Amino acid sequence: MEQQLLQFINCRLVRNHQLVHDDLWVRDGKIINPEPVFFDEQTKAHRRIDCKGAIIAPGYIDVQINGGYGVDFSYDKDTTEAGVTKVARGLVASGVTSFCPTLVTSPNDSYHSILPRMPTLIEGGAGVLGVHVEGPFINPQKKGAHPENCIQTIDKGMATLREVYGSLERIKIITLAPEQVRDPSVIRDLVEAGITVSLGHSMGTLSDGERAVRHGATLITHLFNAMLPFHHRDPGLVGLLASDAIPAGKTIYFGIISDGVHTHPAALRIAYRTHREGLVLVTDAISALGLEEGVHHIGQLPLQVKQGKAFIAGTETLCGSIAPMDECVRIFHKATDCSQVYAIEAASLHPAKCLGIERQKGTLDFDSDADFILLDDELQLLSTWIAGVCVHSK
């Protein structure tokens, strides 16, 4: 069966870090180069779609999201497939076309139950890139909303990890506290297994962070949150943004939550001005994303949504965001006065690069996956397309 050739006209494409007036050509779930179509095949588009001047951008990628729409990836272990599917279909309404379901620190049997059940391809929903396991190898002094009784230490290298998770097969990112890893060669082993190692929930010093980076760590989990505050004599993990000990040619990426709650606008500006190349917008959204105010659950702990914020029930401890990704992009754009393209790339190209998938995702280059979104000039979402199929439209 001949694949439909789609031509998106009257649009501006995010390409080469700028907005370019050009058409977008899509066939068989991929973005294609139109030249061979004209000259070799001498074919015309089956459908021309008038975008009415909209911006076409790569779909957003969320590498840290704990759940949403009443689903908690860590807590609902008996309904993993249904829960992930529900979230994946909900996320397209915020422009997210792929994501890493994130598990907070949990008992071993939860990992053994949840990880093998993670779906990857979801019809009409965002794609699953692999799981982000945020813990259990974190510092109890910076546990945030993670249950302390489940926190562990890596004392037998990779054997500990296989014991805890059961298998590393579905894991794409692991957040650990570098000072809790006795033998840093385990970081190198994880990277060699195709896993992105992220540093977070940590009391680590700058030298702890630099040692982890030398062994292959490339990401920092929610910068400024659950780590030592910046200090001029030892800037801690935040100091990695300006460290002179990073190997040449290596980029340190960092997740940052621009939900208007977790990170002050001035802190967003500091991060943006210090290390633009590595900035990755994450939602860190929880089960209450898309839900009304009231008491809900995260992992083993009850949470409360009030005044647009989520707290551990009965406390003032924040435990995750409830702002969707498109809102985070707009908040970040306004707070930093960055370009529209930069704000978009912080939620698309940068996370793709961080995971080493920038040839397939986070780009509108030829031969990349046709996962893209249409936006107006205020960065409000108009429609979401996955593999060249419209899965959401305003």
Residues known to be catalytic: 284
For residue 93, what are the contacts with CB-CB under 8 A and spacing of at least 6? Answer: 324, 381, 384, 392
Confirm or deny that 17 is annotated as ligand binding: no
In whole angstroms, what is the distance from residue 307 CA to residue 103 CA? 25
* Three-class secondary structure of residue 152 per DSSP: coil
Residue 3 contacts residue 37 (beta carbons within 8 Å): no
Tokens of 157: 């290298």
Confirm or deny that 248 is annotated as ligand binding: no
Beta bridge mates, 188: none
Residue 8 contacts residue 20 (beta carbons within 8 Å): no
Confirm or deny that 264 is annotated as ligand binding: no
Confirm or deny that 222 is annotated as ligand binding: yes
* Three-class secondary structure of residue 14 per DSSP: strand
Tell me 230's DSSP state: P
Confirm or deny that 320 is annotated as ligand binding: yes
* Three-class secondary structure of residue 383 per DSSP: strand
In whole angstroms, what is the distance from residue 103 CA to residue 92 CA? 21
In whole angstroms, what is the distance from residue 61 CA to residue 345 CA? 10
Q: Pick from 260, 278, 166, 300: which is nearest to 218 by CA?
A: 278
Secondary structure element (H or E) that encloses residue 212, with its range:
helix 206-214
Residue 368 contacts residue 61 (beta carbons within 8 Å): no
Confirm or deny that 319 is annotated as ligand binding: yes
Confirm or deny that 134 is annotated as ligand binding: yes
Residue 123 contacts residue 113 (beta carbons within 8 Å): no
Residue 173 contacts residue 196 (beta carbons within 8 Å): yes
Tokens of 204: 């680590």
Residue whose pair of structure tokens reads 């439209």 in the numeric block? 393
Residue 310 contacts residue 275 (beta carbons within 8 Å): no
Tell me 186's DSSP state: H
Confirm or deny that 262 is annotated as ligand binding: yes
Residue 99 contacts residue 128 (beta carbons within 8 Å): yes
In whole angstroms, what is the distance from residue 81 CA to residue 215 CA? 34
Confirm or deny that 145 is annotated as ligand binding: yes
What type of residue is 70? G
| Binding-site entries for substrate | 145, 225-226, 233, 262, 318-320
> Which residue ranges are tagged as binding site?
134, 145, 201, 222, 225-226, 233, 262, 318-320
Known binding residues for Zn(2+) = 134, 201, 222
